[in-house]
Structure 1
Amino acid sequence: MRFRLLSYPLVLLAAACVPLGTPITNPNVPVSQQKPAEYYAERTLRYQDYIYDPSVHSVQCYVPTAQVNDIFLPPIVPLTQEQPVTLEFDVLGEQAPRLTAKLVHCDLSWTPSQLIDTQFLDQINEFTLTNYQTSVNTKVPYYHYTLQVPRVKLSGNYLLVVQNQAGAPLLSRRMLVYENQVIAQLQPGILAGGLDARYAYQQLNFSINYSAVDLVNPAAEVKVVLRQNYRWDNAHYNLTPTFVRDAERVLQYQYINYENAFPGLSEYRYFDMRSLQAGGLGVARLLRQGTPTQVELVPEATRNGLAYNQYVDANGQRVFQNREYGNGAYNADYAEVTFNLQAPRPALGPVYVFGALSDWQLKDEFRLTYDSVRAAYTGHALLKQGYYNYDYAVAPARAGVAPDEIFFEGTHQETENQYDLLVYYRPPGVRTDLLIAYQRLDLNQR
């Protein structure tokens, strides 16, 4: 998918992950006076995209590109790493803390591998973040940090961790380094079953050709992960080949019974907050007198049961920008954004604003409160100026299940979504899983 913001010059930054906002427990209390949620109380390192400190906002982890339209490339690079991964984030406040970063090599399951630092790095595994700049003419002061991740020597999963002087983690981000030892092909599939399901879900089939390399017991030892829109929360794991063609040295994965299907959902909702002088698309009202500026979004309704509506979206991502002054890295201000979702009755579980702005997690600061008098959900979050995609998700009844986005958004086979395939293998004698192939597909590309 190629996404373009027209009419205005932009400094475009790729994004993969963004926890934003100070938790809102009482909508009548300003954001700056709210207490941090329990989400931030745990400082034990988690091997996932995570924020450990409420002063950290607007995290971007991406691969820079010279092509203006490719603004949301996730942190996935080939082993050659001509364009290394870049990390950017803000620390709110008027002082710049001294920060360092490190890399942790992880196995397929995102647990630390048995490798020592010198086996995947040519330098000391501690990088001081010296590239930072204070915000310019913003109501909410912050420091903007940038780090270019050093090159590594092995493919696989890596966790990038930023720490304070005391060694406590402030944020962590997953990144991937791959090498194309085998050939992976990803393509749309055909679903069996009723028409309702066929027009609601998207099926992906794929194959792995290992004719150029000797793999030991590939049918059992090759592991794959299939993701939708670069998300980890609803990724498909433990997929086994449906056909093993030993003569051609090919593994085929062709499913017909929804083992590998994703709900197509709808194109993501959006609002344009690149200007705090005049309301953009999706903005109903601006209140500029206070600190921070208050932004109220247009009231919205459920889309479940409606016909598919085609338009170009950003697949749940966002980009930071100040329309008046440019350079969203340090010219963009923060605003308290109010979401309004009309609902005649409450959902069966808690409702959240969901997307890259929430790290694809159900965070307390994005939880909405139901008002039975207004028959609507409302909530607030502190967000940096920019253009945002998002949707509304209902928390699942049990742990380990992806949030229910269909309840308010509906689902359609025609929806444009990006898919990528990760192929892992642990060679004999190697103490970790290598990422031996990577392939992506833009389904229903416009």
Structure 2
Amino acid sequence: MRVLPLLLLLLAPACVPLGTPITSTSSAPGQQKPPEYYADKTLRYQDYTYTPEVRSVQCYVATGQPNEVFQPPVVPLGQSPAITLEFDVLGEQSQRYTAKLIHCDLNWQPSVLTDMQFLNEINEFPITDYRVGVNTKVPYFHYRLRAPAVKLSGNYLLLVQSPGGVPVVSRRLLVYENQVQVGLKPGLVIGGQERYALQQLDFGISYASVNLVNPAVEVKVVLRQNFRWDNAKYNLRPTFVRDAERRLEYQYFAFENAFPGLSEYRFFDTRSVQSNGIGVLHLDPRTSPVSVTLQPEETRNKQAYNQYQDTNGQRVFESREFGNGATNADYTNVTFQLKAAQPAPGPVYVLGALTDWQLKDEFRLSYDEAKQLYTGHALLKQGYYNYDFAVAGTPGSAPDEIYFEGSHRETENQYDLLVYYRPPGSRADLLIGYQTAAVNSRL
């Protein structure tokens, strides 16, 4: 699921894999949204959208390259390029927003640092870069902000607020420094059937160039798949501490450092509202917003692995007719469909960057027993989308993506390792190491 070769894919008119429909209770502008998700305005220290008018949020590293929107918001301390936040606000009237940074600890709770301990400027940034959507059926304003530079490595929450301090959107940012050497590479799964479905990441940390106090206890690591936070692995302890070599090794035998490989993400292409893109069954440009019905999808569990290029669950906005997806792409009412001979053991959702990797009420699918079909509707900006289907489990448990997607060791995925350390007497968890690794890279 490598994203770098996607540029050629995006420039081609129709060479993207088949997409799937998703069902949701989301509706077109003018219709009331379900209150469950958006009713609570309590600030959350995670990627979150607090109002239904805010759509199409992207947070990435502005590299100047065509595929920059796929770069996660992770930057080295004291270096360019900057992290950029973009989002739309539906409606015909622009809004006044300000942004601020919140320094967080390892567990994504606000730290006790003052603003001046991690910033060189006043921690209030008016968002003045905004433009109106051009000739769109669904009116909106597009906002853009470059995150300010910071003085400390670690976790930061970028928060956008409306007048009165009401949260609008929040995104997690990472700033790292390479004080330690991190080795992260694909490993071999030792097991039975697990070796066909899981992907293991082996890693070690060398700290020869820095003095760490009690590193076996004080060094904390987080392992992520495709830069997601919802299924990240925490509390991984070193299995070997080699004091003479000043090295920590993490070698597990109970799959603590293994992830389901899943399948390549499903996708669909709505960059044109004049002709059907890949994964689109039917579209009606006469409606407002344009109605798009996706091809019915089927379960991929227990099926053979199917190799194709995807974008690791991400999406990009674009209009084939007018270009410039930021302000020329319109919003469409997308109908998702999923064939199922019987209901799943729990509620079924669409999952991906389009949902902030959360089980949102507006992306929940409804099951028609007579048709043996899950369906739903979601208001989405024109673009190319990756996603999969997930079944909700018990409260607090991770959603089950394997039920409809299956899992294969051959799937291409990206992983990254975050290494934290709090020096003695310090009040900040520093991000002292960062490393990425690709499994089954297509390059």
Give the TM-score band, short-chain normalised: over 0.9
> Which one is further off, 78-87 or 346-355?
78-87
> How many Å apart are 1:6 and its aligned residue?
3.2
> How many Å apart are 1:35 and its aligned residue?
2.9
Q: Distance in 2 between matches of 1:70 and 1:96?
A: 27
Q: Distance in 1 between matches of 2:279 and 2:78?
A: 42
Matched residue of 1:199: which SS? helix
> How many Å apart are 1:388 and its aligned residue?
0.2
Alignment partner for residue 146 of structure 1, among 144, 147, 154?
144
1:305-345 CA-to-partner distances (Å, cap 9, x unmatched) read 10000001000000000111110000000001000000000
Q: Distance in 2 between matches of 1:308 and 1:256?
A: 25
Alignment partner for residue 438 of structure 1, among 403, 421, 434?
434
Alignment of 1:36-75 (within 5 A): 36-75=34-73
Alignment of 1:219-298 (within 5 A): 219-298=216-295
> How many Å apart are 1:287 and its aligned residue?
1.1
Do the aligned partners of 1:3 and 1:70 also contact (CA within 8 Å) in 2?
Answer: no
1:41-66 CA-to-partner distances (Å, cap 9, x unmatched) read 11110000001111000000000123
Do the aligned partners of 1:75 and 1:85 also contact (CA within 8 Å) in 2?
Answer: yes
Matched residue of 1:83: which SS? coil
Alignment partner for residue 117 of structure 2, among 98, 116, 119?
119
Asked if 1:422 corresponds to 2:389, the answer is no
Match in the other structure for 2:105? 107
Q: Distance in 1 between matches of 2:200 and 2:64?
A: 32
Do the aligned partners of 2:78 and 2:150 also contact (CA within 8 Å) in 1?
Answer: no
Matched residue of 1:357: which SS? helix
Match in the other structure for 2:25? 24
Do the aligned partners of 1:352 and 1:394 also contact (CA within 8 Å) in 2?
Answer: yes
Alignment of 1:75-90 (within 5 A): 75-90=73-88
> How many Å apart are 1:280 and its aligned residue?
0.2
1:283-315 CA-to-partner distances (Å, cap 9, x unmatched) read 000011121110000001000010000001000
Do the aligned partners of 2:24 and 2:376 also contact (CA within 8 Å) in 1?
Answer: no
Q: So what's the TM-score if we normalise by structure 1?
A: 0.94
| Structure 1 gaps, min length 5 | 11-20
Asked if 1:177 corresponds to 2:175, the answer is yes
CA gap 1:180/1:52 in 2 versus in 1, 3 angstroms: same
Q: Distance in 1 between matches of 2:258 and 2:10?
A: 38
Q: Which amino acid aligns with 1:54?
A: P
Match in the other structure for 1:377? 374
1:343-401 CA-to-partner distances (Å, cap 9, x unmatched) read 000000000010000000000110000000100100110000000000000001231x2
CA gap 1:8/1:437 in 2 versus in 1, 3 angstroms: closer
Do the aligned partners of 2:61 and 2:68 also contact (CA within 8 Å) in 1?
Answer: no
Match in the other structure for 1:355? 352
Q: Distance in 2 between matches of 1:31 and 1:343?
A: 30
Q: Distance in 1 between matches of 2:383 and 2:186?
A: 33
Q: Which amino acid aligns with 1:210?
A: Y
Do the aligned partners of 1:23 and 1:31 also contact (CA within 8 Å) in 2?
Answer: no
> How many Å apart are 1:71 and its aligned residue?
4.1
Q: Distance in 1 between matches of 2:165 and 2:201?
A: 43
The two structures, once aligned, show a CA RMSD in angstroms of 1.5
Asked if 1:389 corresponds to 2:386, the answer is yes
Do the aligned partners of 1:40 and 1:53 also contact (CA within 8 Å) in 2?
Answer: yes
Match in the other structure for 2:127? 129
Do the aligned partners of 1:368 and 1:377 also contact (CA within 8 Å) in 2?
Answer: yes
Match in the other structure for 1:157? 155
Do the aligned partners of 2:241 and 2:248 also contact (CA within 8 Å) in 1?
Answer: yes
> How many Å apart are 1:126 and its aligned residue?
0.3
Q: Distance in 2 between matches of 1:60 and 1:263?
A: 26
Q: Distance in 1 between matches of 2:7 and 2:120?
A: 40
Asked if 1:412 corresponds to 2:408, the answer is yes
> How many Å apart are 1:34 and its aligned residue?
2.9
Matched residue of 1:133: which SS? strand
Q: Which has the higher contact order (CA 8 A, sep 6+)?
A: 2
Do the aligned partners of 1:209 and 1:249 also contact (CA within 8 Å) in 2?
Answer: yes
Q: Distance in 1 between matches of 2:170 and 2:23?
A: 18
Match in the other structure for 2:17? none
> How many Å apart are 1:32 and its aligned residue?
3.1
> Which one is further off, 127-136 or 29-38?
29-38
Matched residue of 1:157: which SS? strand
What percent of counterpart residues are identical? 66
> How many Å apart are 1:255 and its aligned residue?
1.4
Q: Which amino acid aligns with 2:420?
A: Y
Q: Distance in 2 between matches of 1:7 and 1:215?
A: 46
Match in the other structure for 2:398? 402
Count of matched residue positions in the alignment of Structure 1 and Structure 2: 431
Matched residue of 2:30: which SS? helix
Matched residue of 2:272: which SS? coil
Match in the other structure for 2:18? none
Matched residue of 1:365: which SS? helix
Q: Distance in 2 between matches of 1:22 and 1:116?
A: 44
> How many Å apart are 1:256 and its aligned residue?
2.0
